[in-house]
Amino acid sequence: MVKRILAALLFFTALNLQAQVSDAASFTGFARQHDSLFRDAYDHRDTTRYQQVLNTFTLRYNNLDSTTKKANVDRLSVALYNLCCIYSLQNRQQQALTYLEKAIQAGYYNYANMMADKDLNNIRPLEQFTQLVAPLRRIGDYPYILRQAALYNTADTRPLPGFTYQSKNDPGLVTLRKAFNLDSIAGQGSDVSQVLALMHWLHNLVPHDGQHENPLVKNALSMITVCKKDNRGLNCRGLATTLNECYLALGFKSRFVTCQPKDSLGIDYDCHVINMVYAPSLKKWLWIDPTFDTYVMNEKGELLSIEEVRQRIIDNSPLIISPDANWNHRSSETKEHYLFYYMAKNLYRLECPINSAYDIETNANGKNIEYIQLLPLDYFKQPAKTNWTNKNTKTAYTYYYTNNPAYFWQVPENN
């Protein structure tokens, strides 16, 4: 009897998982159709038709399994927010406030957009609006959140391993350098011009694709080859990993840095990965972002490091991004969105591998990958280090934590 019950449970569990996958795929198509219906109703300021579309969407959404619901919660909250916008544009203030509250309850936490969106000009002066959005400042006002994270602890002396940078004579890096003729791509100019030339080259060679995982073998040679063969792109981590290895192959000290939000609610899974490259001629690290083909400067046109950009966002000091900053040559990137919204959110926690080397993140049985996180004092307390092992790949991971920026931004030896 036990065996039969167990078999039945396994059978129904399998059916349930299949149903969830089918439900998710079906809802994705349904949601995309409704995106255009929402947009059309919004464009015509037609609240009656928008409400009808919303009712149909909500009814289907409420019948989803919890996993698919969670994956699509942003669609619902944005739909509610946009109906608020229509009512506000029509100066129907109470209806607008009602749907703003519903949008917030559904998970719309974009404080910066609420404070800047011209659609909400008719309700923003109202006391009820202020009361609704005030609690979101510590969740969605990213420059404000970053300012709370300005303090570090330079006296943090927890023992940490030293950063290492693989020699350009490593066989994998030599093969990479020759395979793509990186010396020619970098050119014979200054170290800074070489750094920028490699960034431009990769940005033009491999598109950004944030919707899919990177190839299983995560080194530059393999990932570029797979992208050419399958006509695909890489996410920001794949692009930064590839560029990092190209820099190492030419003898530059480089790390890829995962920039992460505070995310006190545990709902923001987005992060962004960029590069820090040491320029000997400037005696400093440089901010390099292959996803958006971006470097950052001060008002004098001097290139800045990640550390400097973070501090200037906190201080509200002048910042300039590279003039050709773009996403896949389809849309230009603005300083306001890139730095004061997207990166302000993601510059709260910073992480990079301790060993900067070729093929560092390809999974392998028995492999141990070590990372270091720089945390502000504003963040939740962390132990000196944590460990975990992926049960499927048997790859082990060790994470060290520090509140000391001097350790994280230390200049490479012999530079």
Task: Give 135-179 pLDDT, tens digit per residue.
Answer: 999 888 899 999 999 999 999 998 999 999 999 999 999 999 999
Q: Mean pLDDT across the stretch 181-187?
A: 98
Inside any domain, residue 391: yes
Domain end residue (candidates: 83, 117, 140): 140
Query: Which range marks the domain in which residue 129 is found?
Result: 21-140
Structure tokens at 143: 């420059």
- Domain identity same for 67 and 192: no
- Domain identity same for 277 and 187: yes
- Domain identity same for 127 and 174: no
Residue of 353, 317, 142, 377 lying closest to 304 (CA atoms): 317
- Domain identity same for 356 and 278: yes
- Domain identity same for 66 and 118: yes
* CB contact at 8 A, 114 and 120: yes
- Domain identity same for 166 and 123: no
pLDDT greater at residue 242 or residue 74: 242
Is a pLDDT exceeding 80 seen at residue 3? no
- Domain identity same for 101 and 226: no
Residue owning tokens 């167990």:
6
* CATH at 120: 1.25.40
- Domain identity same for 98 and 42: yes
- Domain identity same for 364 and 388: yes
Structure tokens at 217: 């073998």
Inside any domain, residue 334: yes
Inside any domain, residue 9: no
Is a pLDDT exceeding 90 seen at residue 26? no
- Domain identity same for 381 and 314: yes
- Domain identity same for 174 and 303: yes
- Domain identity same for 69 and 126: yes
Residue of 340, 339, 250, 355 lying closest to 294 (CA atoms): 339
Residues 6 or more apart whose Cβ sits within 8 Å of residue 123: 88, 93, 96, 97, 100, 129
Q: What is the pLDDT of residues 394-415, one digit of tens each?
A: 999 999 999 999 999 999 987 7
Q: Going along 146-187, which residue ranges are E strands? A: 164-165
Inside any domain, residue 6: no
Inside any domain, residue 337: yes
What percentage of the chain reaches a pLDDT higher than 90?
81
Q: What is the tally of structural domains in the chain?
A: 2
Inside any domain, residue 332: yes
